[in-house]
């Protein structure tokens, strides 16, 4: 798929979301109705909340979260959902108490963001069936490559690095004792003076 086709699909998706999302403001600027569900603007750092950006990015999938956090980077809105603290079966990183961690770790420094509290969260049914993907194996090689690797491994002799202890003998040649796999091997090494003979 080429770049132009990707842009066309993204634009079509954006227009579809705008058409499906209905935004209305309540009595105060903090009260908001999105698709006839009540939300409250809890935080609006650097005036991040904008109706047009929210309409472009909002999806009914987000209605299940107790809180929606939106941040803006490169004029794009990213929305992340959080649950109330203590929600059973939800990890700590997906609870609203982890908001500061999320801001520090996943948002650009100083980026504008907002927090919306969903006053009417509800379970959302997925329209699409879940597709199971085959599990990927690590270090996947073809059988031919595996045979080559196994052959190469068997042809190389194992030669672990061994520590040598030098023992000087008054009788002449120096002996070196090596230890490996609980076996002692002794090698005689002739002194340099005897090599010339």
Architecture of the 10-118 domain: 3-Layer(bba) Sandwich (3.50)
Nearest to 99 by CA among 88, 87, 111, 83: 83
Strands 31-34 and 37-45, sheet pairing? antiparallel
Rounded Cα distance, 161 and 48, in Å: 62
Per-residue pLDDT of the chain (197 residues; tens, 9 = 90+): 799 999 999 899 888 988 889 999 888 878 999 999 999 999 999 999 999 999 999 999 999 999 999 999 988 999 999 999 999 999 999 999 999 999 999 999 999 999 999 999 988 775 544 445 555 666 555 555 555 555 555 555 555 555 544 455 455 555 554 454 444 444 444 444 445 55
**Residue 141 phi, psi (nearest 5):** -125, 155
Domain ranges of the chain: 10-118, 164-195
């Amino acid at each position: 798929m080429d770049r132009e086709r990707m842009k066309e699909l993204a634009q079509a998706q954006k227009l579809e979301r705008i058409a499906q999302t209905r935004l209305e403001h309540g009595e105060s600027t903090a009260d908001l109705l999105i698709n006839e569900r009540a939300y409250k603007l809890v935080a609006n750092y650097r005036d991040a909340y904008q109706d047009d950006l929210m309409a472009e990015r909002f999806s009914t999938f987000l209605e299940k979260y107790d809180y929606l956090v939106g941040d803006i980077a490169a004029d794009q809105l990213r929305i992340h959902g959080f649950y109330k603290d203590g929600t059973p079966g939800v990890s700590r990183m997906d609870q609203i108490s982890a908001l500061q961690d999320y801001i520090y770790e996943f948002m650009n420094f100083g980026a504008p963001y907002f927090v919306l509290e969903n006053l009417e969260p509800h379970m959302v049914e997925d329209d699409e069936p879940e597709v199971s993907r085959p599990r990927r194996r690590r270090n996947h090689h073809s059988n031919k490559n595996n045979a080559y690797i196994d052959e190469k491994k068997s042809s190389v002799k194992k030669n672990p690095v061994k520590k040598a202890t030098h023992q000087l003998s008054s009788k002449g040649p120096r002996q070196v004792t090596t230890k490996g796999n609980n076996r002692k091997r002794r090698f005689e090494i002739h002194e340099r003076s005897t090599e010339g003979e």
